[in-house]
Amino acid sequence: MVLINIDTLSDSELRCIAQQEGVEDWEDLSREDLIDSIEEIYEDENRFEPNHPSYTGHRYVKTLVNVDRQGSLGLPGVEELPLAYNETCIHAIAKDANWAYVFWSLSPQDQALMEESGCTLSLRTIVLAKDDCPEASFDIDVLGSDMEWSLELPWSGRQYKAVLVKKDPSNGHESILAESSIVSVEECWLSKNPEALKDRDRFNVLVTPLVTKGGELINNRQVHEILEEGKEGLA
């Protein structure tokens, strides 16, 4: 996966991409023309299905993308990141009010110790109270080969922490391998302003964008909770 915002690329990087994509006169084009040419290539490639013979899968513009090429795209100053690091660590990033993306790595030493001892690995989600003390927690068993997970955040307006836990099935002993920094989930604005849901016209304005063209409410727990609150307020 490669994340590149085309507007932030230098002129030399733009020319490198243009040359790779076969843009005519790439050496003489202005920065604006280079960006237009690359975006046009992106738009053209995006019209094809992945199985289409003309589909290349190369995208450079404003998105996370799959790239079929090996290496780091050949861009100046861009290096390929390793899949793992030689240390045990875990990181958590809030995706939205309901989910966090968690990724981690185990040091070769920890991996070897786990294999030798037969210990298992769990991903623990800790819900923190206002004083940062653990209020609740739940574990998910993961494989030693796993390196990422999507964690559900059950309550808005709370703080969470992801923890890697090593468990010894022979004696039930647990030890913490790594902890993430705290992930904060803001309480929904509508939850803090329930009066906004009591006006029918305003309620309709707020809910309309949450409904698909087929008339289905988007599949989001928080949206359903707010909708139920709104129905009670209008009753």
Domain boundaries, the chain: 2-65, 89-184, 189-234
pLDDT mean over 186-190: 66
pLDDT mean over 163-186: 91
pLDDT in tens, 209-219: 667 777 776 66
pLDDT mean over 183-203: 70
At residue 67, the pLDDT reads 43
At residue 165, the pLDDT reads 95
> Mean pLDDT over all residues of the chain?
75
pLDDT in tens, 13-44: 788 888 878 888 888 899 888 888 888 876 65
CATH for 89-184 (3.40.50.170, 2.60.40.10, 2.40.128.110, 2.102.10.10): 2.60.40.10
Q: Is the dihedral of CA 171, 173, 177, 181 positive or negative?
A: positive
pLDDT in tens, 75-134: 555 566 666 667 899 999 988 777 889 999 999 889 888 888 899 999 999 998 877 788
At residue 103, the pLDDT reads 92
Q: Which amino acid is at 94?
A: A
Q: pLDDT tier at 65 (50, 70, 90 boundaries)?
A: very low
191-230 residues labelled b (16+ CB within 10 A) or e (exposed)? beeeebbeeeeebeebeeeeeeeeeeeeeeebbeebbebb
The CA distance from 110 to 126, in Å, is: 22
At residue 49, the pLDDT reads 46
Name 16's Cβ contacts closer than 8 Å, sequence gap at least 6.
Answer: 74, 75, 76
pTM: 0.53
Whether the per-residue pLDDT at 140 is higher than 60: the answer is yes
Whether the per-residue pLDDT at 71 is higher than 60: the answer is no
Q: Which amino acid is at 75?
A: L
Q: Which of 51-60, 110-119, 180-189, 217-226 has the lowest mean pLDDT?
A: 51-60
Contact between 164 and 191 (Cβ < 8 Å): no
Q: List the one residue out of 230, 225, 228 whose CA is nearest residue 206.
A: 230
At residue 9, the pLDDT reads 78
